[in-house]
């Protein structure tokens, strides 16, 4: 099971770039009862907490959650985006030193189980 305590803040920040906007998002998805991406109903066992988000300009706070398949997909996308500009991730022998790249990789693998 994945919770925000399992997901480093850097990884939550990278995933936040792939979140839909709060405006127009169905209530179930905005409140975390459904996956923020696909709408699948979530339980404590099936949800990945994506941390507190602040929607600008009104500073509205919301707490999105994702299902494991969607979170794994977004972690993979974030990992590819990140690796394209990270000097550590660009070199196989240094990639283990990148906290963000390693965190995204671990989250993706954990959510694919």
Q: Which helix (H) or strand (E) holds 53?
A: strand 53-55
Model's pTM, two decimal places?
Answer: 0.88
Q: Could you tell me how far CA 102 lies from the centroid of its own chain?
A: 14
Query: What's the chain's length in residues?
Result: 113
Q: pLDDT tens-digit profile of 52-99?
A: 888 877 888 889 999 999 999 999 999 999 988 999 988 878 878 899
Classify residue 78 by burial, with Cβ atoms within 10 Å: 0-12, 13-18, 19+. Answer: buried
**pLDDT of 40-59, one tens digit each?**
999 988 999 999 888 877 88
Determine the Cα–Cα distance for residues 26 and 75; give it in Å rounded to an integer.
23
Tokens representing 93? 């022998």
């Amino acid at each position: 099971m994945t919770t925000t305590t399992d997901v480093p803040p850097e990884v939550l920040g990278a995933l936040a770039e792939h979140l839909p906007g709060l405006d127009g998002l169905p209530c179930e998805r905005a409140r975390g009862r459904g996956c923020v991406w696909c709408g699948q109903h979530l339980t404590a066992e099936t949800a990945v907490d994506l941390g507190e988000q602040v929607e600008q300009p009104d500073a509205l706070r919301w707490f999105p959650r994702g299902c494991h398949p969607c979170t794994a997909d977004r972690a993979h996308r974030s990992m590819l985006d990140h690796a394209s500009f990270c000097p550590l991730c660009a070199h196989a022998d240094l990639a283990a030193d990148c906290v963000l790249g390693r965190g995204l990789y671990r989250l993706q693998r954990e959510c694919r189980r």
